[in-house]
Structure formats: structure tokens, C-alpha cells
Amino acid sequence: MKKLISSFAYAIKGLNYTFRSQLNFKIHCFGGLLAIILGFLVDLNSYEWLWIILSIAMVIILELVNTAIEILVDLVSPEYHPKAETIKDVAAASVLIGALMALIIGLFIFVPKLI
Ligand SMILES: Nc1ncnc2c1ncn2[C@@H]1O[C@H](COP(=O)(O)OP(=O)(O)OP(=O)(O)O)[C@@H](O)[C@H]1O
């Protein structure tokens, strides 16, 4: 039980670090919060909530993994290296694709309710 609580505390530490250090993470959290508020305002059904929650979780998870990859690259390759560049660019691309998908899902769900 103690081990479970420590794992939870480490995860919260990671979330806290990412929130404090990554502007994009703050922006995505803010976007997620707006989607949740809007979801209550337009009274989403459970199926629509599921898509919104999955989209928010997907972007947050991708940002967290991207941050971990960036830190790892900075640790093993503090100097310029073409492979370090590619690793960071590919990780950043995963966040971009995830965020675009989340945006498309959000538009599909909210636009018909707002027009
Ligand atoms: N060690 C390195 N070697 C080569 N290119 C790098 C290296 N570190 C960063 N880069 C290049 O610079 C870009 C930005 O890297 P950086 O670490 O600043 O990421 P970032 O997305 O701006 O992260 P942060 O959110 O921490 O500002 C990378 O996508 C990569 O193209």
C-alpha cells in the first residue's frame, strides 16, 4: 500500500513538473478545461463526454511523454546531435497530431450544438 502511495506521489510530481515547465502543457490543460465547461453548457450526452474526455487525456498523455523524451534527450545529448534533433522533432509531431485530432473531435461535437 505504501509503495502504491509513493508511485502516486511520483506521478503527481511529474505532472506538477510538466505543468510548471511546459507552456504548451498549460495551454492544452486550459483548452481541456474550456471543453469541459462548454460540455456542461451545451449538455453533452455520455457518448459525447467519452470522446471529449478521451481527447483531453490523449493530448495530456502525449505532452507528458514528449516532455519525458525531451528531458531524456537533454540528458544523453546535451550537445547538438542530428539524431537528438530527429527524436525531439518526432516526439513533438506526435503531440501535434494528437492535438489536431482532439481539435477535430471537439469541432465535430461542439459546432452542431453552437450553430
Ligand atoms: N541536443 C539537440 N540536438 C539537436 N537538435 C536539438 C537538440 N535539442 C533540441 N533540438 C532541436 O530544437 C527543437 C526544440 O527543442 P527544445 O528542447 O527547445 O524543445 P521544445 O519543444 O521547444 O521544448 P520546451 O517545451 O522545453 O521549450 C527540437 O525539436 C530539435 O529540432
Report the complex ipTM. 0.89
Nearest to 25 by CA among 55, 54, 62: 62
pLDDT at residue 53 greater than cutoff 90: yes
Quick check: CB of 88 below 6 Å from ligand 1? yes
User: How large is the average pLDDT for residues 71-81?
Assistant: 98
- How confident is residue 105, by pLDDT bands cut at 50, 70 and 90? very high
pLDDT tens digits for range 2-40: 888 999 999 999 999 999 999 999 999 999 999 999 999
Structural domains in the chain, sorted by start: 2-114 (1.10.287.3610)
Q: Which of 115, 109, 103 has its CA nearest to residue 45?
A: 109
Task: Consult the annotation and say whether 88 binds a ligand.
Answer: yes
- The reply to whether the predicted model has a pTM over 0.90 is yes
3-class SS at 2?
helix
Question: Is 28 a known ligand-binding residue?
Answer: no
Centre of ligand 1 from the C-alpha of residue 11, in Å = 24
With both helix axes pointing from N to C terminus, report the angle between 46-76 and 2-21 in degrees, rounded to the nearest 10: 80
pLDDT score of 97: 98
User: Does residue 85 have an active-site annotation?
Assistant: no
Asked if 36 contacts 67 with a C-beta cutoff of 8 angstroms, the reply is no
Q: Report the alpha-carbon distance of residue 33 to residue 37 in Å, rounded.
A: 6
Is it the case that residue 66 has pLDDT exceeding 90? yes
Say which of 52, 62, 63, 98 is annotated catalytic.
63
The DSSP call for residue 77 is -
Question: Residue 77: what pLDDT?
Answer: 97
Mean pLDDT of the chain: 97
pLDDT over threshold 90, residue 75: yes
3-state class of 69 per DSSP? helix
